[in-house]
Amino acid sequence: MSGEYPALLRRRALAMLGLAERLLGEGEYDLAVLNAEYAAQLYVKQLLYRIGGEEYRGHNIRALLALLAGLLEDSGFRGQAEGIKRFTRSNRSLLAELEEGRVRAVYGVFEYTREQAARLVEAARKLVELLSSIEADIFG
């Protein structure tokens, strides 16, 4: 199962990102944000599993990224770890909004606007692109 589990999470993450982009185009902004958050979260978790061999629980994307950066450093991938740290620092508020999106999109008392949802979907897409690049560096 070692290769199957991260592949499953990666497929789900990419499908959710595609769905988030489609929902954004259809005007379903809350659901676009919800799927963008799940896409980002699952992509981080699949890479954590692939590198560390452990399943990680939790939903806080910034905390998961910190774990991933630490794991990369411990594994000798300092440049990749630094890339994650730079991304996290420069997108801290967007990542915090994205984390909140999972709950707010379902239970919140307001609806996301197109602009808000587009920013969060884009943040998730950029994160997935960064992680995909790191994954390619490490695993080919």
pLDDT of 28-46, one tens digit each? 999 999 999 999 999 999 9
Are the C-beta atoms of 39 and 102 separated by less than 8 Å? no
Domains in the chain, CATH or no CATH each = 4-139 (1.20.120.330)
Please list, residue by residue across 94-112, b when 16 or more beta carbons sit within 10 angstroms of its beta carbon and e when fewer do: bbebbbebbebbeeeeeeb
Cα–Cα distance, 8 to 27 (Å, whole number): 28
Please report which residue ranges of 75-113 form alpha helices under DSSP H: 78-90, 92-107
* pTM, to two decimals: 0.95
Model pLDDT for residues 73-88, shown as the tens digit of each residue:
999 999 999 999 999 9
